[in-house]
Amino acid sequence: MQSEQMTRTELRAGASLSAIFGLRMLGLFFILPVFAVHAPHYRGGDDLTLVGLALGAYGLTQAILQIPFGMASDRWGRKPVIYAGLAAFAAGSFVAASAGDIWMAIAGRALQGTGAVNSVVMALAADLTREQHRTKVMAMIGSTIGLMFALSLVAAPALYHVIGIAGIFALTGILALAAIWVVRTQVPDTPQAERKPDAGPVPLAKALDVEILRLNAGIFVLHVVLYAMFIVVPTRLIAAGLDLAGHWKLYLPVVLVSFAFMVPPILYADRRNRPKPVLLIAVALLLAVEACLATLPLGVAGIAAAMLGFFVAFNVLEALLPSLVSRYAPPQRRGVVIGVYNTTQTLGVFFGGLFGGWVAQHFGADHVFAACAALTLAWLALAAGMRAPRRLGATDARGQPV
């Protein structure tokens, strides 16, 4: 029987890869709570559709390049591809820092997206961990992303007042360069056996089975909802009486408490091998949040309660979905399969920003939440047919799966 304890290499891999995601996502999240408020200061920034495009442009170029990056990492190794992607992300950050109009901001965001390393980092996490511990590592990464989100919500308004939007973008580039150092010095190397494809590689069409396609659809909807919401949530909070500088007073406790609620379902899904009920409950919670925001006249306290529910669901799903993809994906096609997954994720970023801005401009904030609720309902119906994966990491004394 394999050890149920994580090895030192697995712990180091989880911590260092979480740091890479954290440094990169912190810079991205710094923009989210302040960009829509700052946008009117750009030439052309009074068009909410273009503001949404600026937020989502990162996701479009990410979507185009996730699969090529995943394929490149399967062929040439994970670390060299990560170096190239982080350098491109940093370059885009510095371009956005120099923007004086909305189109230059869009260009910088699009260049940021060419650093499409999410799939490669996730594939490296899967390479360096045994399957029975993969959900824990994905939860470490997901929790770090959530923590960076909380930190950004606290720090972004203050940073915005001190260094402005240009300074925030420049800081984003510096954090990406710091992530390169983490990869170089802290991330374990991939075992040689993992770098070589098997003698009989699995065709991509066969590797992308129906269960992986369900998960891809889910991550797409999740990020459409996230980015569409943040076109309208900051301004709704301001209208409810909480000015931008005080938004951290809502976000910080909400996100931190959501971590506490996230842990039990993740542990249950991992230890009992019961990911399906956890996934369905999280999606149902997300649906309830969007329905409340769309239909109820909520004040600051009501929005805080809704955002707590949102972040509990979001954090659980952010940890659970990539773990499931890595379990379904054949090892020799893992990089490209996770690349497809991350393509749908970043398409969600692009369409979420664009769609949210368009709906908000033409129909109002309530319709943004209603549209998010409709998409989440469709996801819930699709996820109901999910077949839970067998725990392949556990074996008996003869090395056979149990």
For 62, the token pair is 């990410």
Alpha helices in 134-209 (DSSP H): 134-185, 192-195, 204-207
**What are 179-199's pLDDT values in tens digits?**
889 888 888 877 654 444 443
**What are 92-108's pLDDT values in tens digits?**
999 999 988 989 999 99
pLDDT of residue 313: 93
For 24, the token pair is 């990169």
Superfamily of domain 8-191+204-383: MFS general substrate transporter like domains (1.20.1250.20)
**What residues have CB less than 8 Å from 362, skipping those under 6 apart?**
none
**What residues have CB less than 8 Å from 153, skipping those under 6 apart?**
29, 33, 247, 248, 251, 252, 255
Give residue for tokens 């950004």. Answer: 152
Sign of the Cα pseudo-torsion (277, 279, 282, 287, in order): negative
Burial environment of residue 159 by CB neighbours within 10 A (0 to 12, 13 to 18, 19 or more): middle
Compare 55 and 229 and report the one with higher pLDDT.
229
For 220, the token pair is 């797409």
Contact 313, 146 (CB under 8 A): no
Contact 351, 223 (CB under 8 A): no
For 141, the token pair is 């990464």
**What are 388-401's pLDDT values in tens digits?**
666 544 444 444 44
Confidence check: pLDDT of 339 > 70: yes
Compare 348 and 372 and report the one with higher pLDDT.
372
CA atoms within 13 A on the CB side of 328: 27
Average pLDDT over residues 327-337: 70
Compare 204 and 42 and report the one with higher pLDDT.
42
Report the distance separating Cα 400 and Cα 402, nearest Å. Answer: 6
Please report, for the chain, the start and end positions of each structural domain, with discontinuous segments joined by +: 8-191+204-383
pLDDT of residue 344: 85
**What are 353-365's pLDDT values in tens digits?**
888 888 988 888 8
Burial environment of residue 261 by CB neighbours within 10 A (0 to 12, 13 to 18, 19 or more): middle
Q: For residue 6, name the pLDDT band (cuts at 50, 70, 90).
A: confident
Contact 215, 337 (CB under 8 A): no
pLDDT of residue 390: 61
**What are 49-80's pLDDT values in tens digits?**
888 888 778 778 877 887 788 778 877 888 88
Kindly list the distances between the CA atom of residue 250 and the CA atoms of 16, 121, 296, in Å, as whole numbers in the listed order: 29, 31, 19
pLDDT of residue 202: 53
Q: Indicate left, alpha or beta for 399 from its phi (over 0: left) and psi (-120 to 50: alpha).
A: left
Contact 4, 395 (CB under 8 A): no
Mean pLDDT of the chain: 81
